[in-house]
Amino acid sequence: MKRFWTEARSEKTEEGWRVLLDDRPIRTPAKAPLIVPHAAFADAIAAEWDKQEEAIDPSVMPVTRSANAAIDKVRHQHAEVADMLAAYGDSDLLCYRAETPADLVARQAAIWDPYLDWAADALAARLQPRTGIMHAAQDPATLARLREKVHAMDAFGLAAFHDLVSLTGSLVLGFAATHGFAPEPVWAASRLDEDYQAELWGEDEEAAEMAAHKRAAFLDAGRVWRLSRGQAADIDRPW
């Protein structure tokens, strides 16, 4: 797709906010009207389109992509997506701890325990850590409370939350990212095991490149979450 417009701008409608390319409203890949619930959200989408040059590059348009996913996919499969994400609580990354070496065990406890303590207090959900990689079920009542919170999200929030959880492997870290925690420490917590191995054996170039790509996607998802809540998000900085 080539750039055909002079200006991208947002506009209020009865249903919410839409983006116009000159006078033509944007539609999703499934041809649905691209209408978002907040002005800042629409402004961020307009800014992405305004930055496009001769050819359109969707890979540098994370806010637009997330809005498209929310409208075309999540809105029609809300319960299924919410159930899939809530299921991370029963196998949360933060709950599976190393047996050895002692310094890794200590690092996991120091970095991961505060997030579990926060979830117990703020979300009324105490997940229990265990040693090893074999699955051990969490308390069903705790999981039900977490599931209810995930299902309460609207389609736009759930689309962003999908990336926050799937990229970290942790429902707790996903919630932390939506409750005001600084994004870089949350991301670093999800990378604890990989970073420890890199310290021991050196960093693999391909793995480092993939990690950088995932980090950028995580930061983008956090920014989209804020926009979906009606919070302003700087165009050039994630949160």
**pLDDT tens digits, 158-175:** 999 999 999 999 999 999
Q: Which amino acid makes up residue 56?
A: I
- Main-chain dihedrals φ then ψ at residue 12, nearest 5 degrees: -75, 140
Q: Is the torsion defined by CA of 206, 209, 215, 218 positive or negative?
A: negative
Q: What is the mean pLDDT of residues 29-49?
A: 97
Can you tell me the distance from the alpha carbon of 189 to that of 193, in angstroms, rounded to the nearest whole number?
A: 9
More confident residue, 133 or 143: 143
pLDDT-derived band of residue 132, with 50, 70 and 90 as boundaries?
Answer: confident
For range 94-112, the mean pLDDT: 97
Of the candidates 59, 70, 60, 7, the one whose C-alpha atom is nearest the C-alpha of residue 37 is 70
Give CB contacts under 8 A, 24+ apart, made by 148-151: 149/123, 149/175, 150/82, 150/85, 150/86, 151/78, 151/79, 151/82, 151/86
Which residues does 53 contact at the CB level (< 8 Å), separation at least 6? 3
**Hunting for tokens 């899939």 — which residue is that?**
84
pTM above threshold 0.85:
yes
**pLDDT class for 231, splitting at 50, 70, 90?**
confident
Q: DSSP class of residue 236? A: T
- The alpha carbon torsion through 196, 200, 201, 207 (nearest 10 deg) reads 10
Average pLDDT, the chain: 94
Mind listing the pLDDT tens digit for each residue in 66-78?
A: 999 999 999 999 9
**pLDDT of 7 strictly over 90:** yes
Q: Which residues of 181-204 are buried (b: 16+ CB within 10 A; e: fewer)?
A: bebeebbebbebeeebeeeeeeee
Report whether pLDDT(201) > 80: yes
Structural domains for the chain: 8-72 (3.30.2180.10), 77-228 (1.10.3580.10)
- What is the number of H-type helices and E-type strands within the chain? 10, 6
Could you tell me how many residues make up the chain?
Answer: 239
pLDDT reading at 149 higher than 80: yes
- pLDDT above 80 for 238: no
Pick the more confident residue, 172 or 235. 172
pLDDT at 38 over 90: yes
Angstrom CA distances, 173 to 4, 5, 192, stand at 41, 40, 13
- Give residue-wise pLDDT tens across range 86-95: 999 999 999 9
